[in-house]
Amino acid sequence: MTSHGALTEEQQAAVEAVAVFTGGFTADAFRAVVAGPFDDRARLDHRLEELTASGAVVGVHGGRLDLPPRLRAEAAAAMAARQDGSEEVARDRHLAWAVAFALDGAAGLEGPEQIVWLDSLEADHDNLRAALAWATRQPGIEAGLTLSGALGRFWEVRGHATEGRRWLRTVLELNPEASLAAKARVANSAGLLALREGDDRSAGEHYEESLAAHWEMGDRLGCAGVMHSLGNLAFRRWDLDEASRLFGESLGIGRDLHDDRVIGASLANLGAVADVRKDRAEARRLYEEALDVWRRDGDTFNAAAALANLTELAMADGDDATARRFGEETLAARRMLGDDEGTRSVLLNLSRVAARQGDAGAAHAYRAEARALRKKGWWLDALRRRSPGS
């Protein structure tokens, strides 16, 4: 294995810079952290090729790259011993890369490449954590707010709600003078994660803070998104009139601005209100319209939610064949997304449908998989019971 001392001065600087990564890195991340003021892509790629050829950089799982453990330790020690600010520069570049990566990921989670982005963010989750930790050591800069705010949907889907709420709380406390835009996004993500954990009081406080910031900025689209979230809270309180009003206002803004994300979400939740009011025909119409919007946009996560609702409607109607068809579609989407909680829920519904159809083998298989997922996540359920307001 190549040692730190056997490398050229330029190569040493490169491996020291990438020693700040945790859990490996991609070629793009290498370029972002190693790049100096006079480096272009060709030069950076040549440097990476040299390091790979010498064994200083090695391939790891998933096509990612990393330093061998011994070289990583040598590089980190050499950089720390110099005390010339190079470590701070590398960590600042690492944070800048993480912010750009997370923002791209947040945008990607709203489009047809959701699954690719969920897996990419998961693969670099340790790096994102390290970047957040560095940001918290520098109060007053907004990078930590931007980074944590961009990760809200990822944390929600992949079951990191408790951790995400902790990061969001920390960066907000450290940046009281942050811009309205940064505060609005962080407050919205905090509300989303609080809602996921059933902490309605905190969710409401966060959403009201986010709504006020969006109004002050004159951001109608942002307001529509937060009104939709407040509608969810009203729905959970069983205030159906208020929920319907908020979802309707959100839908109107979404249609005015031609924003499918807001339109689809508002239609689906108006469908939920109709469902609770026992107007199944209207609920089905609204769910199907929302499903069409999300399928057109390639939004697998929300399409799966609409399919789950249609599954339950078909079950309530006693239409087991339709319920099983929708349920299987939902299951495939939940599995692709890596959404264990959502997968477990649809498995339980499918087990009931299969049992009613007399398919005992399938019913048993669905229940067994649901039990395995529950066992996998037992610690998270226990944590939530102990700390409902965390």
Domains, the chain, ordered by start? 1-84 (1.10.10.10), 87-218 (1.25.40.10), 299-390 (1.25.40.10)
Residue 380: pLDDT band with limits 50, 70, 90: very low
pLDDT score recorded for residue 63:
81
- What average pLDDT score do residues 108-128 get? 91
Residue 211: pLDDT band with limits 50, 70, 90: very high
Query: Is residue 254 pLDDT above 80, yes or no?
Result: yes
Write the pLDDT tens digit of every residue in 157-170. 898 999 999 999 99
pLDDT score recorded for residue 257:
94
pLDDT score recorded for residue 144:
92
- What average pLDDT score do residues 118-141 get? 92
Lowest-pLDDT range, 14-28, 34-48, 329-343, 365-379?
A: 365-379
Query: Is residue 389 pLDDT above 60, yes or no?
Result: no
Which one of 24-38, 309-323, 329-343 scores highest in mean pLDDT?
309-323
Residue (of 61, 27, 57, 59) closest to 44 by Cα position = 27
pLDDT higher at 329 or 140: 329
Per-state percent for the chain, helix, strand, coil, to nearest 5: 80, 0, 20
Query: Is residue 116 pLDDT above 80, yes or no?
Result: yes
Query: 16-34: buried (b, 16+ CB within 10 Å) or exposed (e) per residue?
Result: bbbbbbbebbbeebbbbbb
Percentage of the residues of the chain whose pLDDT score is greater than 90: 65
Q: How many CB atoms lie within 10 A of CB 150?
A: 25
| C-alpha distance from residue 189 to each of 67, 200, 204, 210, 381 (Å) | 34, 14, 12, 9, 21
Query: Which H/E stretch holds residue 286?
Result: helix 280-297
Q: Are 95 and 134 in contact (CB under 8 A)?
A: yes
pLDDT score recorded for residue 340:
84
- What average pLDDT score do residues 331-346 get? 88
- What average pLDDT score do residues 63-82 get? 90
Contact partners, residue 80, CB within 8 Å, separation at least 6: 87
pLDDT score recorded for residue 134:
95
pLDDT score recorded for residue 84:
85
Tokens of 157: 């889907």
pLDDT score recorded for residue 336:
86
Q: Are 302 and 273 in contact (CB under 8 A)?
A: no
pLDDT score recorded for residue 325:
94
- What average pLDDT score do residues 104-109 get? 93
Average pLDDT, the chain: 89
Residue 264: pLDDT band with limits 50, 70, 90: very high
Residue 37: pLDDT band with limits 50, 70, 90: low
Query: Is residue 265 pLDDT above 50, yes or no?
Result: yes
Q: Are 213 and 197 in contact (CB under 8 A)?
A: no
